[in-house]
Amino acid sequence: MNVKEFMQSWYDMGSPIRPPFEHAVHCTDMAYALTIYRKGQYQIELYICRPNTQTKVHSHPGIESISVYLTGNLTFANPDGAFRDLSQYQFATEDGTHVLLGKFVDSIDGTEHALKVNEEGGSFLLFQKWHNKKPRSVAIEYDGETLGPLHDETIQNAVE
């Protein structure tokens, strides 16, 4: 099953929230991540991002992922580091949710990308398939310039 099939199966199950006991919460200088569901090589992390922050281009080797927009003002960059301007989509629908709720960035499998969070902050779900390791957090399986001292500490203290 690929990550897109996993995502669909989770929605089909009614989107259960089942945080694991092990490796459930991770912090960086940019975001808090809570694993809300894990089963075998698959998991979902909820990312809540600080306003006015940005990563450098980085990757998560061995992890196939899909980012699903929840709220706020954030955008992912292409491998070349170019961010798409999503300012035209910063408004609510008739039911009060963000117009981008549920939209997703197609699957990336260890490819380079970056994230930019604007003044409103933002949040997203990250659906993941881990190919060769037991799932923990993409904040730990991080290839690139880290986000600062808290991120460095999180990576250093990670226990397999």
- Does 160 score more than 60 pLDDT? no
CATH architecture type of domain 3-156: Sandwich (2.60)
Q: Write the pLDDT tens digit of every residue in 88-140.
A: 999 999 999 999 999 988 778 888 889 999 999 999 999 999 999 999 999 99
pLDDT on residue 111:
85
Give the other-Cβ count within 10 Å of 77's Cβ. Answer: 18
Domain segments of the chain as ranges: 3-156
Nearest to 125 by CA among 62, 56, 1, 31: 31
Tens of pLDDT, residues 17-27: 999 999 999 99
> What is the rounded end-to-end Cα distance, in angstroms, of the chain?
24
Chain segment 32-86, per-residue pLDDT in tens = 999 999 999 999 999 999 999 999 889 899 999 999 999 999 998 877 778 888 8
